[in-house]
């Protein structure tokens, strides 16, 4: 009888412990974020030609972006920090999943590129599959210059005759070109389960941003160094304006 009473006391206290643990467990919500390349609002794909609004045909072959300090912001002051560093490879139709606090938001913010505190790290100090790790070491110029924040590679066909006339190669990096991006977007994130969020980058604007158009004949390659810095800065300003 005594033994049975102890059993019930034990069982009840375990239920109390179990329930209190359950109460304290934070609710886990996931945000699946995707960046879709478009041109004038129409989705585009890598290795598939599309025509810019000035009639020039372009085909992109390789585009990726590093984003630092990605967060969701509400104008009333609340925010949800997603991740210190992410890499989006537009060759892969991928979503990246983040643990997130639910809520209503009005903006998405990030630093375009690798922030200075991470930019001069050795890829070997990260796990291989980390965005800054060995598997992405081809995105690194070495300690002094840091990571290539993003690449835009492809070809252009100036007279749209079906034959490409030259390559496009924009490798943008360097601490001076690390800039903040704020995308205005009103959206809600559920506090449980999964929420999808799709951002866009408009390549018609990357190349033909009003007042800052890229001339493919003279402005088709930059590695962000020396004489190439001005073109990298120009492309960077257009790219920042092209996220939506």
Q: Which is nearer to Ca ion, 23 or 161 (CB)?
A: 161
Two structure tokens written together for 227: 């004489």
The least CB distance from residue 66 to Ca ion, in Å, is: 33
Window 141-170: residues binding Ca ion (CB under 5 A): 157, 159, 161, 163, 165
> What separation, in Å, do the N-terminal and C-terminal C-alpha atoms of the chain show?
71
CB of 48 to Ca ion, least distance (A): 17
Minimum distance from CB of 162 to Ca ion (Å)? 7
Min CB(54)–Ca ion separation in Å? 14
Nearer to Ca ion, 40 or 59 (CB): 59
Cβ distance 60 to 44 under 8 Å? yes
Toward Ca ion, which CB reaches closer, 127 or 159? Answer: 159
d(CA 235, CA 148) in angstroms, rounded, equals 14
Tell the smallest beta-carbon distance from residue 51 to Ca ion (Å).
Answer: 12
From CA 214, how far away is CA 220, in angstroms rounded? 8
**Within positions 93 to 132, which residues make up the interface with Ca ion, using CB under 5 A?**
none
Q: Which is nearer to Ca ion, 167 or 193 (CB)?
A: 167
Footprint of Ca ion on residues 175-234 (CB under 5 A)?
none
Which candidate, 14, 59, 32, 63, places its Cα nearest to that of 193? 32
Which CB atom, from 47 or from 163, has the smaller least distance to Ca ion? 163
Contact of 49 with 57, CB cutoff 8 Å: yes
Give me Rg for the CA atoms of the chain.
23
Do strands 179-189 and 103-112 pair parallel, antiparallel, or not at all (unpaired)?
A: antiparallel
Residue among 157 and 202 whose Cβ is closer to Ca ion? 157
CB 229 to Ca ion: min, Å: 29
- Per-residue DSSP letter, 242: H
Six-digit token string for 213: 């158009």
# of chain residues touching Ca ion (CB under 5 A): 5
Maximum separation of any 2 CA atoms in the chain, in Å: 95
List residues near Ca ion by CB under 5 A.
157, 159, 161, 163, 165
């Amino acid at each position: 009888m005594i033994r049975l009473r102890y059993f019930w006391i034990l069982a009840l206290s375990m239920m109390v412990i179990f329930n209190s643990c359950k109460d304290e467990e934070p609710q886990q919500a996931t945000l699946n974020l995707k960046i879709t390349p478009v041109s004038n609002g129409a989705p585009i794909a890598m290795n598939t030609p599309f025509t810019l609004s000035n009639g020039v045909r372009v085909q992109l072959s390789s585009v990726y972006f590093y984003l630092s300090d990605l967060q969701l912001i509400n104008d009333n002051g609340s925010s949800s920090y997603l991740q210190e560093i992410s890499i989006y490879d537009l060759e892969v139709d991928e979503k990246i999943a983040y643990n997130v606090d639910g809520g209503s938001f009005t903006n998405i913010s990030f630093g375009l590129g690798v922030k200075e505190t991470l930019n001069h790290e050795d890829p070997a100090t990260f796990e291989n599959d980390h965005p800054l790790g060995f598997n992405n070491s081809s995105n690194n110029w070495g300690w002094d210059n840091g990571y290539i924040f993003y690449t835009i590679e492809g070809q252009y066909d100036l007279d749209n005759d079906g034959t490409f006339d030259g390559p496009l190669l924009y490798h943008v990096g360097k601490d001076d070109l690390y800039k903040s991006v704020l995308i205005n977007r009103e959206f809600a994130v559920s506090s449980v389960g999964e929420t999808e969020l799709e951002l866009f980058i408009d390549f018609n604007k990357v190349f033909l941003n009003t007042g800052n158009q890229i001339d493919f004949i003279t402005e088709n390659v930059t590695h962000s160094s020396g004489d190439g810095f001005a073109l990298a800065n120009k492309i960077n300003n257009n790219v920042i304006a092209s996220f939506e």
